[in-house]
A and B are shown apart, each in its own frame.
Chain A
Amino acid sequence: MRFSDQVIRVDAQSEEQIKLLQILESEEKWNLDFWRHPVSTELPVDVRVPRSHLGALKEYLNAHSIPFTVMIDDVQELLDQEKAEMRENHIRQHNTRDFNFGAYHPLETIYSWMDTLVDQHPNLVTKLEIGRSYENRPMYVLKFSTGGTNRPAIWMDLGIHSREWVSQATGVWTANKIATDYDTDASLIAVLKTMDIYMLIVANPDGYVFSHTSDRMWRKTRSPNSGSVCVGVDPNRNWDAGFGGPGASTNPCSETYQGSSAHSEIEVKNIVNLIQSHGNFKSFISVHAYSQLLMYPYGYTCRSAADQAELDSVGRAAVQKLTSLYGTTYKVGNICTIIYQASGGSIDWSYDVGIKYSFAFELRDTGRYGFILPADQIIPTASETWLALKHIMEYVHDHPY
């Protein structure tokens, strides 16, 4: 058993009692450590008492009818706790100050960084677990909100194709950017006044881990396919939008394998569930790499979406902002004509369930490095993309529906 000091609070009732306490304080043999000295009856008197003298002191106070309460039952325990907290805070501070946004991090590092972001900005950021991956990894969404209940919201998902590392890395930088700028950037203030932002930085955690440990070029989920040696489903062919149409494969060994049915992948289903149960998303943005494109629906068909003209105009304005930073050029158009016809895609689904402002980014570059974009391009990529994202968010905010 540990013998630890206690801290008691003494409530002196009269000048006489104050004088008694002052005498106690002066007597060294008691070894009392007064945290608050006996000065007046209006103020509490706090004393740290060595365990060995505790009984005697309490008896003395009782004998003189001086009321007291135990403030700290076990000082040592508290000290230990505090030391641990300080160490933790130091590490966290260290992490947040020194977090290298210009590097590619493994999943665990991104997840622990999320916690530091929430700690640093508790009035803005919360972390939600929206479900688990096939291999039972949590899928975390960062929610940026200044209050309200079920405000109209903007959705962003990154890294659904795990090998597109600049996508997840851009998510980390962007989340940090929103948190650090939210009370100084006028347009961000305006957006967050009435809207929430939801960000799923690692939409395919199993694939992301696999791309670190085993195969840098891994794209799909890691769910097994019955009757096949091949693993995984293309999570961006698995949405219920033209599911099973052209541009997706029925072969489990294919990189564009659509899955056994729409939303068969738990990673996709978790997002669908969140979006549907929330019911108030106004924009849905999926971030991929590479090709330098900003696209809108449709992929599953080459016919124009009803809102094509507006989406095209928003996209072009957003790209103008992006290009203004470093001159990086992007093309704008619907998925089917710009890149290829592809069924079962996320932004086709979101658009068809009524989220008008649905966009897909393909970030840097155009093939020189492709998926293995050098880390020193992460921050420039994220910075220029941020200008486009802000434009979209401002527009969505200014055009409620």
Chain B
Amino acid sequence: MGLRRAIVLVALMEVTWSLNVTTIGPETVSTDASAHPEPAEENTEQKEAAAAEEDVMATGELNPNHYPAQRAAKLVQHYLNARYGSPYKLFGLKEVHSGNAEEVADSGRKYQLEISVHEIISNTKEKCSAEVFFPSGAKQLSPQVQVSACEEILKLDAKSEEQALYQQYKTNKTVRTEERLPDSYGHIDPEMTPFWHLSIVASSFIMLKESTENTLYNVAQVANITQLATENDQLKFDCHVLLHEMVSQEIPQWKLLFTWSPAEGVKVLHTEQLPHVHEFEKRAKPN
């Protein structure tokens, strides 16, 4: 590496990422005229662009907009959803402010991240600190996530809606979908939305478990969800989800058996990956 590049890199590491953006999710239209993002400092960008060389496994200070930090940060979203998600509470990764990666001798790689997390339904945002650990080795262990400095967003209360839904479907009603959630046009019946969210929460367990530094998962679509008999005061569901993995661009399909109650949250009982379906099999079931 040339001397000039080395100097630029050092300068870069000393500049903290100060992009102070008031971000508004695309699903909410801002009515606040002052909510415009501030432009990033030109100088930093140019230096960053010049020094934008990624190692195979980025170590040290990470560019928060590049994929290594972004992929690690996504796991925090999956973790929060699995642990705290509900039909009325769903988390999204808003932004990565800074990141750092290091090798942990003989066991894996650890990321330290400063991120902003967004609770989608209440539209609240909070900054969090997180640690994501990707274990190495042949055993295929799940990544580990720890979150701190994020209490407010986790204390958000959706208890009354959750209770109402829980009571309704414990006794009176049963859900069994005929349409995919959402449908091909992005449309979802409002009555089904809580079950779409529940399926995302349950899928987050899978997405968390399956993630590596070389993947980025989202839920593409819920093929169906069926409510089974309530067990131990837990609503019980069987669902079929389509995930989207960004790096391979594949659509892995999974079946999940899970329970939910306001008190216990989502607990996944059983998961099964479905084989890659080729067109001649798909032809029988147009969507």
Which residue numbers of A lie inside 8 Å of B, CB to CB? Answer: 103-104, 211-217, 219, 229-231, 234, 253-256, 291-292, 302-304, 308-309, 312-313, 316, 320, 323-324, 326-329, 331-334, 336-340, 364-375, 377, 380-381
Contact = CB atoms under 8 A, between A and B. Distances in A.
Most B Cβ at <10 Å: residue of A304, A316, A327, A377: A327
B280 A214 contact: no
A185 B51 CA distance: 38
Given A323-B37, A368-B92, A215 B287 contact: yes
B185 A374 contact: yes
A338 B36 contact: no
Contacts of B46: 309, 312-313
7 contacts: A104-B184, A217-B242, A308-B50, A313-B46, A323-B37, A328-B26, A365-B26
B54 A216 contact: no
Contacts of B183: 372
A216 B221 contact: yes
Interface in B27-84: 27, 29-30, 35-37, 39-40, 45-46, 49-50, 52-54, 63, 65-67
A317 to B, nearest CB: 9
B279 A372 contact: no
Contacts of A370: 218-221, 244
B135 interface: no
B249 A219 contact: yes
Interface string B73-100: 0000000000000000000110100000
A337 B278 contact: no
Interface of B: 21-27, 29-30, 35-37, 39-40, 45-46, 49-50, 52-54, 63, 65-67, 92-93, 95, 120, 180, 182-187, 218-221, 242, 244, 246-251, 276, 278-280, 282-283, 286-287
Contact of A374 (B24, B40, B66, B187): B187
Contact of A377 (B45, B180, B186): B186
A327 B248 contact: no
A253 B120 contact: no
B27 A368 contact: yes
Given A253-B278, A329-B21, A374 B54 contact: no
B97 to A, nearest CB: 13
- Mostly helix, strand, loop or mixed at chain B's interface? loop
Given A234-B249, A316-B40, A326-B26, 19 more contacts: A216-B184, A217-B220, A217-B244, A253-B278, A255-B248, A302-B54, A309-B46, A323-B36, A326-B24, A327-B36, A329-B95, A334-B52, A337-B52, A339-B67, A365-B26, A365-B27, A368-B120, A370-B244, A375-B187
Contacts of A334: 52
B284 to A, nearest CB: 10
Given A253-B278, A340-B247, A374 B287 contact: no
Given A327-B23, A327-B36, A367-B218, A374 B182 contact: yes
B26 A364 contact: yes
Contacts of A371: 220, 244
B286 A213 contact: yes
B186 A374 contact: yes
B62 to A, nearest CB: 11
A157 B99 CA distance: 35
A139 B276 CA distance: 30
Nearest to B214: A340
A372 B21 contact: no
A254 B182 contact: no
A367 B203 CA distance: 13
A333 B39 contact: no
